[in-house]
Amino acid sequence: MTAGSCRGRVVIVTGAGRGLGRAHALAFAAEGARVVVNDLGVGLDGSGASGTPAEQVVAEIRAAGGEAVAHGGDVASGEGAASLVATALDAFGRLDSLVNNAGFLRDRMLVNLDEDDWDAVMRVHLKGHFLPLKHAAAYWRGESKAGREVTARVVNTSSGAGLLGSVGQGNYSAAKAGIVGLTLVAAAEMARYGVQVNAIAPAARTRMTEQTFADTMAAPSRAGAFDAMAPENVSPLVVWLGSAASAGVTGRVFEAEAGRITVMEGWRAGPTVDRGDRWTPAEAGEAARKLLTEAEPWRPPYGA
């Protein structure tokens, strides 16, 4: 294991037993980080639980000469999130970076979407981002107030579904859009304590995407060919955002897919008109239609 850009840093990665999280954990370890590998080991829909996936990733890191510990707690619970941060502090004495990645899917068209499926997806994605962030931020705030320098990083995981919407994924799209809002607020609130908070919208072949993108996300068949949809393609950006080298970058959303990195530019003022008085409904409609002719074209959600 060759120490590099994250030497000396302690990094938590949630949902790190498989897919993107596993790739992130291995990439951080390869750059010298000590890693807390969190995973409940649940199924694609969040059912069941097993500590095996996290333990296997820890074994991979240790076999390569790195340092890692497993955490099998539920990060969408207050107790689980608190124990996650405590695990980093107990094992390694500090915490420098948090990568929120845990999640699962329960896809349905809106008219078929049960309340329980809505709640479960919102819980694991939104609450599962908020609570680890809350407990990590409390630690970093305490360090800052004690006069110790903090160079902390948080990388949240949104999705193209959160930025554009995705047919059949109303719960997932809403949760991932909420993560962007949470990222913007956290970046503003935590800057004074030396914490930077960014988000990624990754596209890669994982358990969560293999059915949606089955035709386009197959691995290359010939030896040595670039596997555009490998989750490992996303991890270099995540490692950089989680390192001290990303100083000055906060409150941003990046799309990462294959060899492409894009800075996403979200809601901001476009064409506008102000009459200085109240509109009638007809006048407001006429004004809105005129503004729409000057605006960027509407982009349909995935699957439309």
List, by residue number, the catalytic residues.
159, 172, 176
- State phi, psi for 260 to the nearest 5 degrees: -110, 135
Q: Which helix (H) or strand (E) holds 155?
A: strand 152-157
Contact 243, 232 (CB under 8 A): no
Angle of CA points 118, 121, 125, to nearest 5°: 140
CA dihedral 20, 21, 22, 28 (to 10 degrees): 110
- CA-to-CA distance for 105 and 125, rounded, in angstroms? 10
Contact 22, 57 (CB under 8 A): yes
CB burial class (10 A; 0-12, 13-18, 19+) of residue 60? middle
Angle of CA points 211, 217, 222, to nearest 5°: 135
Q: Quick one: which of 163, 153, 159, 166 has its CA closest to 251?
A: 153
- CA-to-CA distance for 224 and 20, rounded, in angstroms? 21
